[in-house]
Each structure stands twice: as C-alpha cells, then as structure tokens.
Structure 1
Amino acid sequence: MNPLLSRLQPYPFERLKQLFAGVTPNPEFPAISLGIGEPKHATPGFIKDALSANLGALAAYPATAGDLSLRTAFTDWLKTRYSLALDPATQVLPVNGSREALFSLAQTVVDPTASPQPVVMSPNPFYQIYEGAALLSGAMPYYVASVPARNFAVAWDSVPEAVWARTQLVFVCSPGNPTGAVMSLDEWKRLFDLSDRHGFVIAADECYSEIYFRDEPPLSGLEASVKLGRPDFRNLIALTSLSKRSNVPGLRSGFVAGDAAIIKKFLLYRTYHGSAMSGAVAAASIAAWGDESHVVDNRAQYRAKFAAVTPLLEPVLDVRLPDASFYLWAGIPEVWAGDDEAFARALYAQYNVTVLPGSYLARDTAHSANPGRGRIRMALVAETAECVEAAERIVRFVQSSPQGRG
C-alpha cells in the first residue's frame, strides 16, 4: 500500500462522530446541524430539467476536456462576472467539483523527486483536502496562520525565505472556509510577487464567491491578476464550482481556469486519471452557468439568514458578519478555556445542536498554536427558521455556562 496514506488525518466529520460517541442529546429538542457545509436550498428546477433531458448522453464516453459549448459556458460566465476574456480552448477545463480538482492539481504540479522535499502551503485554518493533496503528492504541508486582528488575512510575511524557496504550490481560499474572509488586491500582489520570485503555482479556491454580504462582490484571483498586469495568469489556477452557487452539491460540477501551460499539463493528467464530466451533467452545468437569477435569489436567502442569526449570537460569542461564504467562525466564551471540543459536545448533549470544533480545521505548528482552538464553525445552510432556532439555543446554552459544562 502507498505509505503516504498513513499520514492522512481523520476527516473533521469523522472526528466529530467520535466526539459525540456515547452522547444522547436532550430529546426535548429536535436535531439541528450546523456542522456540515452542505447547501440545503432547493435545486433550481431548470437545472434538473436540463439534466433529465440529456440522459441520452450517458450512452457515450465524454471527452476529458469537455466540448466547446461547455468550455464556452465557463468563459461566458467569467466575462459576465469579472469582465475577463479567456480562451475556451486553452484556459479552462471542466472538473467534477472543486474538491476533486484541488486534489488532482497538486498531483499534477508537485515534483516529488525535488530535493529538498517540496512544500505545499495553505492557510491555517484550512479545507482538509489541501493537506491530503499535499501529503499524497509527496510534499510537506506548511500552514500559515490567518490573523483575526486583520480580518483573518493570511500572514504570508511570517513565512521564512527558506520555506518559500522550497514551495511548489500554494492553496488560497477566498472567500475563505471557515473564516469567510476575502483577499484584497494588495494581498494578491504580495502573493504574485512571491510566486514570480520563487516559481510556485497558486491554486485559488473560489467556490464560495457567489455568497457574499457586501455591495462589492469578492475579488477573484484571475481578476486580480489582470488588474496587476498579469493577463496571462502565469502560475495561477482558479477553481470554482456549482455546488454552493446553484445548490447542486450532488452534481459534482465545476471548472478550473488560468495559466494555459498548466491547464495543458492538467488535461494530460486528467486524461489518465479518468476525470471526464458526463454529458448529462455538462448539459445541466451549461444551463446553470448561463443563469444568474437563481444565484441572486440564493444570495438573498443567505443574506436574510445571516441578518437574522448574527445579531442573536454577537452578545454571547466572538462573531461578526463575514465578508462572504455561508459560515460563521465564532470564538467561544473564555469560561471554556479554549476547549472547543468540550463546548461542541456539551451543546450537542444539552440542546441537540451540532457545530464543528474549530481546532478540527487547523493544525498546531512549530511556529504557532492551532488557530482554530477556541472557535467553532457554524454552517448556516438550513432554512432561516431552523438557523434562528439553533442560534437561540446556543444563546441559552452560553448563558447557562459554566454550570452547563458537562
């Protein structure tokens, strides 16, 4: 067996299952889960119609690169959303959801024969696929803390020059999971300057880009690249998905875009990896990328939900409205002494509300303590009434502390 598999850590939801083992939640309260970031809003009917109308495509092998109509749907959306002009033949590829592409991109980019061992860098906290992709590519993960005092901006300047010199791939997530922070143009400039100096590839995970709470939509890495005089997107690949934008997590559909030279190598890898998108899924995807009305409605639902929930929680938790995404990244009260696991377990036991301990989404490092410790992630994916009910229970739970600890 591949010995690198032994280096993988349990996924956060497996750890949560273990944390709750043996706990019987209070039967007075129906279960409410804020633990998993799975969209729960209704899938638009026109997307389902496009999928079912094209089931005949299941009788043919799909092309790994997708057909031109699919790739053009991607570039048309990039033109509408960001005023960017990309070549559908060379600068975009379909992927089976951003998770699959984040993993396989690392296998394409990283040279495991490099000496010293190559580095794959990510924010801390982070989406665990970044870590797994790094480990299974033969690289050493390196975690860079997000700074609460700077709206959870990643402290790139804290990384030693010797680490940058070994870095081959940097994962960024903007809007961030779990913090909801959006990278500024100045942050992108800093990262591009470092990439130019050291030659590493930037993988920009942008799957939450369409759920935002400010008037100005989040800046894409591709958009930043053009604004900063890099129209060729050198060493940059952006990844996005329909899962959150269009409420179709089961469709497993997204695309990557950026540096044509990397796209070419990624296509070669994917041809062998067997990552082609079904023709039926492609048809549904074209329909979804071509419509914005359902996206506006989806965003309005999240805005109303966060407007109802955040003020309830602000008096009892260290939390505020994020820039974007559908998470609240909340600090727990000092009485819990930073024990986010105990907080989550007691909340589940007493009020049957599931939240994810923040420490499960981050790591202790030689240069910083686990930045998720003492925080919880709440995914506001359920209907507004259910999220409000969960918030009200959390308020009651916190107000009963420390007596409520159990």
Structure 2
Amino acid sequence: MSVRKVRYYLYLKDVLLLSLTSFGGPQAFLAMVLETMVRKRGYIREQELWELNALCQILPGPTSTQTISAIGYRIGGANLAYLSLFVWILPATLIMIGAAFLIDFLQMNTPGALTFSKFIQPMAIGFIIFAAQKTIFKMVKTTEASVLMMFSVFISFFYNSPFIFPLLLVVGGVTTSLKYRNLPKESADKKLVIKWANFYLWAGILLVAAVLGAVSQFRGVILFENFYRNGSLIFGGGQVLIPYLYTEFVEFKKFLSSQEFLTGYALSQGIPGPTFSIASYIGALSMREDGFVGMLTGGLVAAAGIFLPGTFLIFFVIRFWDQVKKHRPVKAALEGINAVSCGMLVAAAFLLFEPLDANLFNIAAILGTYVLLRYGKLSSPLIIGIGIFAGVIYQWVVMGVFQ
C-alpha cells in the first residue's frame, strides 16, 4: 500500500473515531479536530483549520460536516472528501433512524409509549434557548442586527410558512450589505476566477428533485427535495435548522407530531456526530406508512438531502473564497443573514413550546435544563440521559404502564 493510501486510510479512521466520540457540540468538535488532525496527525496546519472553519460557518449547511469535508478535500481531493462525508454522517444517521423505528414501534405496541419523553420534550426547548443565547451574543452586535433579529422573530412566529424563511434571509442580507462602505477596503491580489461546476451541480440537483417530486408525487423524492432545500438555506448550525424542520414537517405537512419532533430533537442532543442527523429521524417517521423499507429509505434520503448541498457549496466556494471575502458587500451581508437566523432560533423556542401545556412542570424542566447547560458541568448526553431515566421512572411509577 502506498504512503498516500495509508494517509487516506488513517484520515478516514480518524473521522470515524470523531463521529463516534464528538459529544458536546461544535466547540468540543473543533477542539477534537485540532488535537487529532492538526497536532497529532498534521493533516493541515492550525491556521488552515481556523480559516476553513470560519468559511464553513458563513456558508449555509452543517458547519462540522463541511469542515470535515473541506479537510478531506485539502488532503486528497473530492474523492476523499466524499468518503469522509459518508464516514462522518453514517453513525449518527443510523442511530437516529434506529430511534425513529423505536418510537414508531413503541407507539404501535405500548399505550402511552411516549410518556417516557415527558421530561425530555420541554428539555429540548431548554437546549434551544441555551443555543439561542450563545448564538445571539456571538452574532448580534449592532442596532441594525438587533432590529433585524426582532423582525425575524415576529415574522417567523406569525407567518411560519417554510417559504418565508428564504425571503427573510435575502431581506436580512440585502439590508446590511447596503452599509458596506462602513467597512475598510481590502485590495484583491488578482482577478477573481470562479469555477462554476459545483454550483451547477448543487443547483441542478435542486431543480431536478423539485421537478421529479412535483411530477411523481413520490414521498421519497419529495423528502429529498425538502431536506436538500433546507440544507441549502441554513445559516448558523443545527439549532437554526429546527424552526425550518418543525414548520415544514410538523405544522405544514403534518408528517409527524409535535411530541415526536421534540422527542427526536432531544435525543439528537445526546448522540455524537452532526446535529443535522435529526433529519434522518424526521425522514424515517415521514415514511412510516410504507413499513420498514419505507422508513429506512426516508431516513437515508433525508440524510443525503440535508448533507449534500453544504458539501457542494463548500467545494464551490473554497476555490475562490480568499478573494471574494475581501469584497465589502459580501462581508456586510453576513451580519444581516446571521441576525435573521438568530431571530428564527428565538421563534423556534416559542413555536415548540406552543403545543405543550404551560404548566409549572414544563416551565421548570425548561429552566432547569437551561441552568444545567449554562452553569453546570454536566455534558449534554448526560443531561438527556437523566431526562430519559426520569421519564421512564415516571411512566413506571405514576402511569403504571409496565405494571
């Protein structure tokens, strides 16, 4: 085996290890990548890692997945990048598909099955509030951004159609791009050259999926288009994905219930790997009427749809980003896009709380989760595990389901 192939094999092995051990969100993920891929293996330099991660953060799509793919691209080109994407998302995808099978089985065979999730449903909202706080402090720093965020909260809550979100992002980006003259000028070193192949690939798949879905009305194709579209629009990470998915699949299409959605979101916080893997859970439950094969198909199709567009876009932009980032309107537009994304995240907390009873128990569970995340030293998986355990005890002692 050549030295290059050994290097590629080691890289994929490291990616698999990360996918099985990266608990704790993007900060923990980045620390593990720094330790394993920069300091231990030397695949890329530390400065390269920060630059790639910064680029992925301002592109739509799953940041951690794009970072892994971009590192693979730098090491071995497109083939290694696609392999690393597959290895990275597979464990979390299979776990969340398995969770969908379990939830569906319990509901079909056990009365009051989801009572065990009594605690983790409001806890999921606590996770979103904590994520919203961190995101807002990081991304909203001006009066204009604050106004855009509040505007986004209002529109996202009262007009929560999946078609309103892209419009909000455009409005936010255009609004702040108009003040680009306030930013210092940066001179471009050379003429901007753009290779459009991956952009055409991204746009072509989106168009073909939309047409095929409209013509065939096959739910698998429709799901792929839905998730592909959402994966093309998400700025701000997995938490910002939640209002999109909740609006489209719970309120608009009614493929799953609010209770099922909240349970799946909470479970996704307790597993390693990319947070976008909740798409596999939603996709599987969306095709439960077609049995085992349908649920498996729905989960895999959803995973492909949510993860592929971000990969195509990072491959497209990485070739010329060093030049385009110097254009002031581009940098200025990011402020508005991020502010609108924060507003959507705040609206998501309200939307997800609406179906729950506004009782003392739910409010205490939400606040307790937030306090543990904000001030405690417990990891997210441990907090979710405690919630599941408490729910099982409640179901056993109070509801008497297992008696």
TM-score of the pair, normalised by structure 2: 0.28
Structure (1 or 2) with the greater strand fraction: 1
Using CA pairs below 8 Å that are at least 6 residues apart, which structure has the higher relative contact order?
A: 2
Structure richer in helix, relative to its length: 2
